[in-house]
Amino acid sequence: MIPRIIFMITIMCGLLSSAQQQQAYLDQPQAEPVNETVKHDESASPDIPRTTKPISIPQDYGITLSAVIKNEFWRVMNGGNRKGSEHLLNADLTATADLSKLAGLSDAAFFIHFLGNNGNSISNDVGDIQMVSNIEGYKTFKLYQCWFEQSFPSVDLSFLVGVFDLNAEFYVTPSSALFLNGSHGVGIDLGQTGLNGPSVFPNTALAMRLRYAPEGKISYSAAVFDGRPGAPDNCNSFDLTLNGDDGYFLIGEAAYVQSGSLKCAAGVWYYTGSFADVCAVDGLEQYFERKDNAGAYLLFDRSLYTEPDEQGGGLNIFTRFGITNDHVNLIRSHFGAGLTYKGPFDGRDEDEIGYAFAYASFGSDFQKLSSFHGESMASFEAAHEVTYRGKLTPWLAVQYNVQYIVNPSASMDVNDVVVNGLRIEISL
């Protein structure tokens, strides 16, 4: 652990050193960039730090540092595999460099992200498939993201290359970021797929992304990722070797966004690699592989009511639907929906309260396979979630969460679950 921390500090010091070397250049009068570099939606994914007051080096240097530490304390109250308590811990350390200020490279940005996790699991106790907590992962401390982005404002294009979490930009409903269940980040329809998952928490892959935004409210994004994120045999590392046998993951999304009030989006994705047929894995059918691992999703997020004279306060609704090929995946489709309210009480303008529902429908091939093995299985898993997030200080938030899981992992042998938890989030 200590060598990794030393390595991280060395990287940060290197960035600071580079900034100092540019000081003479920055002291000269310069025209401000016409457009800012593309900003990424930090509410998109649980692994993307949700900060409100990041540590900032003086703006002349163009570097912003951030640290977010999340502690969660969970307890299974009833049902599931077993009653018990778990402590989950996740840390995100990031640095963002505005290269127009740091190196004189207009409309360019560099981002680096280190991830740490204690590896504890609450879903082992619950027995669910959608994951009660969106910070549950394996024990690790590693480089999680590292990418360069160049924007071309004159032609409405931006290009990104590097190790990248797709859920930072794709399959995002901003209002669902309040909730802790994993299916409200990237839907379980997509999250279940791939040789080691798609490029989302806790495994990321080398990627290239192109975005075209001809009008301020409309954008088209497309990306290609390595088909096998991370290094399955080493949780503390990642493999940047592109192996043709793994194939590639392709995704595209079209979105219409009115800042703070409306988002509508549709996306499609496809793996170029081959995947075993679900029914062929356990001998129900003769083993064979398919090349049709693909899916699509729809997103809707809207403000229903805005508090007078209050920035961002009010009632919001979101819905999500995703579908995939159940011949190669256990889950056929996912539906999610929820309501959130920011500023529910006088004097608590930054607090948030909400209810969300996540529904995973298992595919016909999985049900056929379960019947073949004599197992009694339901056709779905559903998660009801109620949560309240209190912003106590600019750097401290406390969030209470309770979930009711129906048919955990579609098993009829596991009782429905009531689980509650407390998240303590420190943002520096």
What one-character-per-residue DSSP string does 16-52 give? Answer: HHHHHHTHHHHHS--PPPSSPPPPP-TTS-TTS---S
Q: Which residue matches tokens 């190790």?
A: 163
Find out whether the peptide bond into 58 is cis, omega within 30 degrees of 0.
no
The CB density around residue 361, as the number of other CB atoms within 10 Å, is 19
- What average pLDDT does the segment 323-327 reach? 95
**Using the 8-state DSSP alphabet, how is residue 412 labeled?**
S
Provide mean pLDDT across the span 400-420: 95
Q: What is the pLDDT of residue 215?
A: 80
Range of the domain at 64: 2-427
Segment among 105-119, 259-273, 284-298 with least mean pLDDT: 284-298
Q: Tell me the per-residue pLDDT of 66-78, one tens digit each, with 9 for 90 and over.
A: 999 999 999 999 9
Place of tokens 């009782």: 415
Q: What is the pLDDT of residue 3?
A: 39
Question: How high does pLDDT run on average in the chain?
Answer: 86
DSSP 177-229: GG--SGGGSS-HHHHT-SSS-SSBTTB-EEEEEEEEEEETTEEEEEEEEESS-
Q: Which regions of 11-137 does DSSP assign to beta strands (E)?
A: 55-56, 63-78, 84-98, 108-117
pTM of the predicted model as reported, rounded to 2 decimal places: 0.85
Contact call for residues 160 and 209 (beta carbons, < 8 A): yes
- Pick from 10-24, 181-195, 224-238, 376-390: least confident: 10-24
* Digit-coded pLDDT (tens) for 4-60: 333 333 434 443 343 334 333 334 443 343 333 334 443 445 545 443 445 555 556
CATH number for the domain harbouring residue 295: 2.40.160.180
| Strands 314-324, 55-56: pairing kind | unpaired
- For the beta carbon of residue 199, count every other beta carbon within 10 angstroms: 29
What is the structure's pLDDT at 57? 56
Q: How many CB atoms lie within 10 A of CB 12?
A: 15
Q: Are 330 and 192 in contact (CB under 8 A)?
A: yes
| Range in 7-21, 131-145, 221-235, 265-279 the model is least confident about | 7-21
pLDDT at 184 over 50: yes
pLDDT in tens, 243-274: 777 899 999 999 999 987 899 999 999 999 99
**pLDDT given for residue 58 in this prediction:** 57
Query: Is residue 332 predicted with pLDDT exceeding 50?
Result: yes
131 pLDDT band, cuts 50/70/90, is very high
| The total number of structural domains that make up the chain | 1
Whether the per-residue pLDDT at 399 is higher than 90: the answer is yes
Nearest-Å Rg of the Cα atoms of the chain is 22
pLDDT band at 373 (very low <50, low <70, confident <90, very high): confident
pLDDT at 259: 82
- Given this model, what pLDDT does residue 39 score? 41
The pLDDT value given to residue 277? 87
HEC readout, 366-382: HHHHHHHCCCCECCEEE
299 contacts 265 by C-beta, under 8 angstroms = yes
Res 21: pLDDT? 40
Residue in 290, 95, 255, 268 with CA at minimum distance from that of residue 173? 255
